[in-house]
Protein backbone atom coordinates (compact mmCIF):
# COMPACT_ATOMS: atom_id res chain seq x y z
CA UNK A 1 0.00 0.00 0.00
CA UNK A 2 1.48 3.36 -1.05
CA UNK A 3 1.76 6.13 1.62
CA UNK A 4 -0.79 8.95 1.43
CA UNK A 5 1.98 11.57 1.44
CA UNK A 6 5.28 10.78 -0.17
CA UNK A 7 8.57 11.61 1.46
CA UNK A 8 9.27 14.64 -0.73
CA UNK A 9 5.85 16.23 -0.09
CA UNK A 10 6.17 15.66 3.66
CA UNK A 11 9.60 17.28 3.64
CA UNK A 12 8.22 20.31 1.80
CA UNK A 13 5.43 20.66 4.36
CA UNK A 14 7.86 20.46 7.26
CA UNK A 15 10.11 23.03 5.64
CA UNK A 16 7.13 25.33 5.14
CA UNK A 17 6.05 24.91 8.78
CA UNK A 18 9.58 25.64 9.87
CA UNK A 19 9.60 28.84 7.84
CA UNK A 20 6.29 29.92 9.35
CA UNK A 21 7.49 29.14 12.86
CA UNK A 22 10.76 30.95 12.31
CA UNK A 23 8.90 33.90 10.81
CA UNK A 24 6.03 34.23 13.30
CA UNK A 25 7.16 32.20 16.29
CA UNK A 26 9.23 34.91 17.89
CA UNK A 27 6.51 37.50 17.20
CA UNK A 28 3.92 35.23 18.74
CA UNK A 29 6.04 34.53 21.80
CA UNK A 30 6.86 38.24 22.15
CA UNK A 31 3.18 39.22 21.83
CA UNK A 32 2.20 36.56 24.38
CA UNK A 33 4.84 37.81 26.79
CA UNK A 34 3.67 41.41 26.38
CA UNK A 35 0.06 40.28 26.96
CA UNK A 36 0.92 38.46 30.19
CA UNK A 37 3.10 41.29 31.48
CA UNK A 38 0.43 43.84 30.50
CA UNK A 39 -2.31 41.98 32.36
CA UNK A 40 -0.06 41.79 35.42
CA UNK A 41 0.64 45.53 35.25
CA UNK A 42 -3.08 46.34 34.87
CA UNK A 43 -3.82 44.20 37.92
CA UNK A 44 -1.21 46.09 39.94
CA UNK A 45 -2.65 49.41 38.74
CA UNK A 46 -6.10 48.29 39.92
CA UNK A 47 -4.67 47.48 43.36
CA UNK A 48 -2.99 50.89 43.48
CA UNK A 49 -6.22 52.63 42.47
CA UNK A 50 -8.12 50.79 45.20
CA UNK A 51 -5.58 51.90 47.79
CA UNK A 52 -5.82 55.46 46.49
CA UNK A 53 -9.63 55.42 46.66
CA UNK A 54 -9.46 54.11 50.24
CA UNK A 55 -7.65 57.30 51.27
CA UNK A 56 -10.27 59.57 49.68
CA UNK A 57 -13.93 60.27 50.44
CA UNK A 58 -15.25 59.39 47.00
CA UNK A 59 -18.60 57.68 46.75
CA UNK A 60 -18.24 53.87 46.34
CA UNK A 61 -20.33 54.00 43.15
CA UNK A 62 -17.97 56.58 41.65
CA UNK A 63 -14.92 54.54 42.71
CA UNK A 64 -16.27 51.45 40.96
CA UNK A 65 -17.15 53.49 37.87
CA UNK A 66 -13.69 55.12 37.60
CA UNK A 67 -11.88 51.84 38.20
CA UNK A 68 -13.89 50.00 35.54
CA UNK A 69 -13.36 52.79 32.98
CA UNK A 70 -9.59 52.91 33.59
CA UNK A 71 -9.30 49.11 33.47
CA UNK A 72 -11.29 48.86 30.22
CA UNK A 73 -9.19 51.58 28.59
CA UNK A 74 -5.91 49.92 29.59
CA UNK A 75 -7.04 46.52 28.32
CA UNK A 76 -8.12 47.97 24.95
CA UNK A 77 -4.71 49.67 24.63
CA UNK A 78 -2.96 46.39 25.51
CA UNK A 79 -4.91 44.45 22.87
CA UNK A 80 -4.01 47.02 20.19
CA UNK A 81 -0.31 46.76 21.15
CA UNK A 82 -0.36 42.94 21.02
CA UNK A 83 -2.13 42.92 17.64
CA UNK A 84 0.38 45.38 16.21
CA UNK A 85 3.28 43.15 17.40
CA UNK A 86 1.81 40.29 15.34
CA UNK A 87 2.13 42.42 12.23
CA UNK A 88 -1.54 43.31 11.90
CA UNK A 89 -2.23 46.85 10.64
CA UNK A 90 -3.94 48.63 13.52
CA UNK A 91 -4.65 51.97 11.83
CA UNK A 92 -7.91 50.74 10.33
CA UNK A 93 -8.83 49.03 13.60
CA UNK A 94 -8.36 52.26 15.58
CA UNK A 95 -10.39 54.17 12.99
CA UNK A 96 -13.15 51.56 13.21
CA UNK A 97 -13.22 51.78 17.01
CA UNK A 98 -13.36 55.59 16.80
CA UNK A 99 -16.25 55.51 14.33
CA UNK A 100 -18.11 52.98 16.47
CA UNK A 101 -17.55 55.10 19.57
CA UNK A 102 -18.85 58.19 17.78
CA UNK A 103 -21.97 56.37 16.56
CA UNK A 104 -22.68 54.98 20.02
CA UNK A 105 -22.10 58.39 21.58
CA UNK A 106 -24.55 60.10 19.24
CA UNK A 107 -27.22 57.45 19.80
CA UNK A 108 -26.80 57.61 23.58
CA UNK A 109 -26.33 61.35 23.87
CA UNK A 110 -28.97 61.80 26.57
CA UNK A 111 -27.77 58.81 28.58
CA UNK A 112 -24.17 59.98 28.34
CA UNK A 113 -25.21 63.41 29.66
CA UNK A 114 -26.91 61.70 32.62
CA UNK A 115 -23.85 59.47 33.02
CA UNK A 116 -21.52 62.48 33.18
CA UNK A 117 -23.94 64.29 35.49
CA UNK A 118 -23.99 61.32 37.86
CA UNK A 119 -20.19 61.24 37.94
CA UNK A 120 -20.10 64.97 38.76
CA UNK A 121 -22.69 64.58 41.53
CA UNK A 122 -20.86 61.63 43.09
CA UNK A 123 -17.53 63.47 42.87
CA UNK A 124 -18.45 66.99 44.01
CA UNK A 125 -21.31 65.93 46.35
CA UNK A 126 -23.73 68.88 46.07
CA UNK A 127 -26.05 66.60 48.04
CA UNK A 128 -25.93 63.16 49.62
CA UNK A 129 -28.41 60.45 50.54
CA UNK A 130 -30.75 61.74 53.24
CA UNK A 131 -30.57 65.40 52.22
CA UNK A 132 -33.74 67.36 51.46
CA UNK A 133 -33.44 69.18 48.15
CA UNK A 134 -35.65 71.40 46.01
CA UNK A 135 -35.09 71.22 42.24
CA UNK A 136 -36.99 70.99 38.97
CA UNK A 137 -40.24 71.91 40.75
CA UNK A 138 -39.79 68.91 43.05
CA UNK A 139 -39.13 68.76 46.79
CA UNK A 140 -38.04 65.59 48.52
CA UNK A 141 -35.48 63.59 50.46
CA UNK A 142 -32.70 61.92 48.46
CA UNK A 143 -33.22 58.16 48.59
CA UNK A 144 -30.59 56.93 46.11
CA UNK A 145 -27.97 58.46 43.83
CA UNK A 146 -27.45 56.21 40.82
CA UNK A 147 -25.05 56.76 37.94
CA UNK A 148 -27.89 57.86 35.59
CA UNK A 149 -30.71 58.97 37.90
CA UNK A 150 -31.32 60.36 41.39
CA UNK A 151 -34.39 59.17 43.28
CA UNK A 152 -36.23 61.44 45.73
CA UNK A 153 -39.03 60.63 48.17
CA UNK A 154 -41.56 63.41 48.70
CA UNK A 155 -43.92 64.09 51.60
CA UNK A 156 -46.53 61.76 50.06
CA UNK A 157 -44.01 58.89 50.11
CA UNK A 158 -43.81 58.97 46.30
CA UNK A 159 -40.62 58.26 44.39
CA UNK A 160 -39.43 61.01 42.05
CA UNK A 161 -36.84 59.95 39.45
CA UNK A 162 -34.77 62.87 38.10
CA UNK A 163 -32.07 62.48 35.39
CA UNK A 164 -28.64 63.40 36.69
CA UNK A 165 -27.96 65.51 33.60
CA UNK A 166 -30.70 67.92 34.66
CA UNK A 167 -29.57 67.96 38.29
CA UNK A 168 -25.97 68.76 37.39
CA UNK A 169 -26.93 71.59 34.98
CA UNK A 170 -29.63 73.33 37.02
CA UNK A 171 -29.79 75.10 40.36
CA UNK A 172 -31.05 73.33 43.46
CA UNK A 173 -31.56 74.09 47.15
CA UNK A 174 -30.10 71.65 49.68
CA UNK A 175 -31.92 72.29 52.95
CA UNK A 176 -29.71 69.86 54.90
CA UNK A 177 -26.36 70.97 53.45
CA UNK A 178 -25.21 72.48 56.76
CA UNK A 179 -25.09 70.86 60.18
CA UNK A 180 -28.21 72.67 61.43
CA UNK A 181 -31.26 73.47 59.31
CA UNK A 182 -33.07 76.80 59.43
CA UNK A 183 -36.86 76.89 59.66
CA UNK A 184 -38.75 80.07 58.82
CA UNK A 185 -42.49 80.59 59.46
CA UNK A 186 -44.67 83.69 59.04
CA UNK A 187 -47.55 84.39 61.43
CA UNK A 188 -50.07 87.10 60.59
CA UNK A 189 -51.98 88.96 63.32
CA UNK A 190 -54.64 91.63 63.09
CA UNK A 191 -53.89 95.33 63.34
CA UNK A 192 -56.08 95.51 66.45
CA UNK A 193 -54.13 92.80 68.29
CA UNK A 194 -51.23 93.40 70.66
CA UNK A 195 -47.98 92.65 68.82
CA UNK A 196 -45.89 92.20 71.96
CA UNK A 197 -48.29 89.59 73.31
CA UNK A 198 -48.17 87.67 70.03
CA UNK A 199 -44.36 87.76 69.95
CA UNK A 200 -44.12 86.59 73.57
CA UNK A 201 -46.41 83.65 72.84
CA UNK A 202 -44.21 82.59 69.93
CA UNK A 203 -41.01 83.01 72.00
CA UNK A 204 -42.38 80.95 74.90
CA UNK A 205 -43.28 78.09 72.56
CA UNK A 206 -39.84 78.20 70.93
CA UNK A 207 -37.97 78.36 74.24
CA UNK A 208 -39.77 75.29 75.53
CA UNK A 209 -38.93 73.12 72.50
CA UNK A 210 -35.71 71.10 72.91
CA UNK A 211 -35.46 70.47 69.17
CA UNK A 212 -34.55 74.14 68.58
CA UNK A 213 -31.07 75.60 69.00
CA UNK A 214 -30.58 78.47 71.42
CA UNK A 215 -27.48 79.60 69.50
CA UNK A 216 -27.98 81.06 66.94
CA UNK A 217 -30.79 82.71 68.84
CA UNK A 218 -34.31 82.38 67.41
CA UNK A 219 -35.65 85.40 65.56
CA UNK A 220 -39.15 86.78 66.15
CA UNK A 221 -39.67 90.15 64.46
CA UNK A 222 -42.30 92.16 62.60
CA UNK A 223 -41.36 91.82 58.93
CA UNK A 224 -44.30 93.39 57.08
CA UNK A 225 -47.28 95.67 57.52
CA UNK A 226 -49.57 94.10 54.96
CA UNK A 227 -52.97 95.28 53.76
CA UNK A 228 -54.98 93.33 56.32
CA UNK A 229 -52.47 91.96 58.84
CA UNK A 230 -49.15 92.47 60.59
CA UNK A 231 -46.66 89.75 59.60
CA UNK A 232 -44.42 88.31 62.35
CA UNK A 233 -41.48 86.41 60.91
CA UNK A 234 -40.10 83.54 63.00
CA UNK A 235 -36.76 81.90 62.22
CA UNK A 236 -35.26 79.05 64.25
CA UNK A 237 -32.53 76.45 63.69
CA UNK A 238 -33.36 72.78 64.07
CA UNK A 239 -30.82 70.63 65.91
CA UNK A 240 -31.61 67.43 63.98
CA UNK A 241 -32.62 67.68 60.29
CA UNK A 242 -34.96 64.72 60.77
CA UNK A 243 -37.16 66.89 63.04
CA UNK A 244 -37.63 69.60 60.38
CA UNK A 245 -41.04 68.58 59.04
CA UNK A 246 -42.59 67.66 62.40
CA UNK A 247 -41.40 70.90 63.96
CA UNK A 248 -42.69 72.92 61.02
CA UNK A 249 -46.21 71.55 61.48
CA UNK A 250 -46.26 71.49 65.28
CA UNK A 251 -45.09 75.10 65.70
CA UNK A 252 -47.91 76.34 63.48
CA UNK A 253 -50.50 74.31 65.38
CA UNK A 254 -49.28 75.31 68.84
CA UNK A 255 -49.05 79.01 67.95
CA UNK A 256 -52.57 78.94 66.51
CA UNK A 257 -53.97 77.36 69.70
CA UNK A 258 -52.17 79.84 71.97
CA UNK A 259 -53.32 82.76 69.81
CA UNK A 260 -56.90 81.54 70.17
CA UNK A 261 -56.54 81.39 73.98
CA UNK A 262 -55.13 84.93 74.09
CA UNK A 263 -57.80 86.29 71.75
CA UNK A 264 -55.32 87.12 69.00
CA UNK A 265 -56.83 86.79 65.55
CA UNK A 266 -55.15 85.44 62.46
CA UNK A 267 -56.73 87.49 59.64
CA UNK A 268 -57.98 85.88 56.48
CA UNK A 269 -58.92 87.56 53.19
CA UNK A 270 -62.32 89.25 53.34
CA UNK A 271 -64.35 91.14 50.79
CA UNK A 272 -67.09 93.63 51.50
CA UNK A 273 -69.97 93.66 49.01
CA UNK A 274 -72.11 96.82 48.82
CA UNK A 275 -75.52 96.59 47.14
CA UNK A 276 -77.09 99.79 45.93
CA UNK A 277 -80.79 100.07 45.16
CA UNK A 278 -81.36 102.67 42.45
CA UNK A 279 -85.16 102.26 42.36
CA 98/CA 92 separation, integer angstroms: 10
Q: Is the pLDDT of residue 158 over 50?
A: yes
**What local confidence, expressed as pLDDT, does residue 1 receive?**
47
Report the pLDDT averaged over residues 119-142.
83
Which residues of the chain are in CATH 1.10.287.1260 domains? 7-107
Written out in words, the top-level CATH class of the domain with range 181-262 is alpha beta
Which pLDDT tens digit goes with each residue over 187-233? 989 888 889 999 999 999 998 888 888 888 889 999 888 888 889 99
Q: What is the CATH code for 7-107?
A: 1.10.287.1260
- Contact, 81 vs 31, CB < 8 A? no
**What local confidence, expressed as pLDDT, does residue 253 receive?**
92
Which residues of the chain are in CATH 3.30.70.100 domains? 181-262
Higher pLDDT: 189 or 86? It is: 189
CATH of 124-174, one of 3.40.50.720, 2.30.30.60, 2.40.50.100, 3.30.70.3270: 2.30.30.60
> Strand order of the sheet with strand 138-145?
159-163, 149-153, 138-145, 132-135, 173-174
25 pLDDT tier (thresholds 50, 70, 90): low
Q: Is the pLDDT of residue 54 over 90?
A: no
Collapse the DSSP code of 247 into the 3-class scheme (helix H, G, I; strand E, B; otherwise coil) and give the result. Answer: helix
- 181 Cβ contact partners less than 8 Å away, ≥ 6 residues apart: 175, 237, 238, 241, 244
Report the pLDDT averaged over residues 242-252.
85
Question: pTM higher than 0.75, yes or no?
Answer: no
Which residues of the chain are in CATH 2.30.30.60 domains? 124-174
Amino acid sequence: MEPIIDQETLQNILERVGEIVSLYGFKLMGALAVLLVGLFVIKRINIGLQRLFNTTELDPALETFLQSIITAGLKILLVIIVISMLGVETTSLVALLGAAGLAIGLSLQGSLANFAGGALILFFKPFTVGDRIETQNHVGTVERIQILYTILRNANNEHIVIPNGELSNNSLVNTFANEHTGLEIDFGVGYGDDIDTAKNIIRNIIDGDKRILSDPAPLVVVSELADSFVNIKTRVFVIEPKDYWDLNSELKERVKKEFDKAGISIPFPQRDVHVYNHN
